[in-house]
Chains A and B, each alone.
Chain A
């Protein structure tokens, strides 16, 4: 799906937990998330912490969209 959207010339970043799968299916810009059922906010942590993580990783995704890359790239996250 990501591939088809990128093929149309639209810049796309894939946020996924399973980076090996995202790579295999051909995503070019990737940002890791924390799990499959809750990619961007662990319900076992306080709401503020979930928000912090989500805000940070969406920020990295925006950074990925503005970064020129030469090959499939996984962008590093801090939170």
Chain B
């Protein structure tokens, strides 16, 4: 039999109400409050072995301590899945469930499941990182919400196919994958029907909701270029001939850095592009059209900039996933920081 552990706040852990919301974490063997229902719903596949109880305020104001204490409780315990809540519309409880689930998932690499009402701020904070089931507004929905968490938990434990957010009832985690429609409806029919609905003012549902853009804070302007070290980075696949790092021509997962401290021009026969997404002829004949080293050297000579960083950084942008691009970006950023680079010219194709 698989083993599960449940996290509750002081109220559902039947310790007390708001007056003891700064109750320090505690672990009890066996079932407390909602754990009884969870255990019942998991029956046959898993048993709830322990219940963890922590005051919402304690988690809120001593988060690190609370999490470390709880992770300490779990150390050495055998468990296959971790549940928290349901937290309904309680904001602090929702945030606590999210925080503890995240920490448990990271440390023990077990599936974590919680449940919150759509107005619980914990949903926005944590929905990308875990399965949060769409729950009721108050404890009146307890049985239903626990059942939903348990049902899905059993599916995970049994290795069954996990369906989309909408079908299963959890909040979308921002992972889009292809599925086959059942019954099958051809894209031509979907498109024409959608257009007729749009033209006649009827409802239709787009299959690709446009996500909101998420911008990073603008870095400050460089005060004095004459003292600045400037680096080149590119997603245009410029590499020394021979592609020593074997960067992929598409869907890249690798990047390379190439020493240009002795180079003032990326000439044919020494540099080339390995990018598969465009006609490479121009860049192979003169890689400066993608990494304009010759021009920046001129500015360096004029004294307009301090110096050009010893390396340029290169990968391929086509088909590269955002996750991979972000990872490579982080790795390159770390190098640039430690090398004391002040500014970057990024060229993309």
Contact = CB atoms under 8 A, between A and B. Distances in A.
A3 interface: yes
Nearest to A3: B216
Contact of A4 (B277, B333, B349): B333
User: In the complex, which range does the number of interface residues on chain B fall in?
Assistant: 35 or more
Contacts of B298: 55
A11 B219 contact: yes
A61 B230 CA distance: 11
Contacts of B221: 11, 65-69
Given A12-B346, A28-B215, A58 B285 contact: no
Given A1-B233, A66-B222, A58 B345 contact: yes
A37 B286 CA distance: 11
Interface string B319-341: 00000011011101110110001
Given A13-B345, A38-B282, A62 B334 contact: no
A57 B345 CA distance: 11
B347 A15 contact: yes
Nearest to A69: B218
Interface in A31-79: 33, 36-43, 50-51, 54-55, 57-59, 61-62, 65-72
Interface stretch (B145-153, B241-249, B288-296): B288-296
A59 B296 CA distance: 8
A11 B289 contact: no
B225 A37 contact: no
Contacts of A9: 219, 337
Contacts of A27: 346
A37 B283 contact: yes
Contacts of B296: 58
B127 interface: no
User: In the complex, which range does the number of interface residues on chain A fall in?
Assistant: 35 or more
Contacts of B215: 26, 28, 72
Contacts of B44: none
Contacts of A5: 233, 329, 332-333, 336, 344, 346
Contact of B282 (A21, A26, A37, A61): A37
A6 to B, nearest CB: 5
Interface in B188-224: 213-223
B232 to A, nearest CB: 10
B292 A24 contact: no
B326 A37 contact: no
A7 B216 contact: yes
12 contacts: A1-B328, A2-B346, A6-B218, A7-B217, A16-B348, A33-B347, A37-B283, A40-B289, A41-B289, A51-B294, A59-B299, A68-B220
- In the A-B complex, the 6 residue pairs with the smallest Cβ-Cβ separation, listed nearest first, are A4-B329, A8-B333, A38-B282, A1-B329, A41-B289, A58-B295
Interface of A: 1-18, 21-22, 24, 26-29, 33, 36-43, 50-51, 54-55, 57-59, 61-62, 65-72
Given A4-B326, A5-B329, 10 more contacts: A10-B219, A10-B333, A14-B346, A14-B347, A14-B348, A26-B216, A37-B281, A40-B292, A51-B295, A55-B295
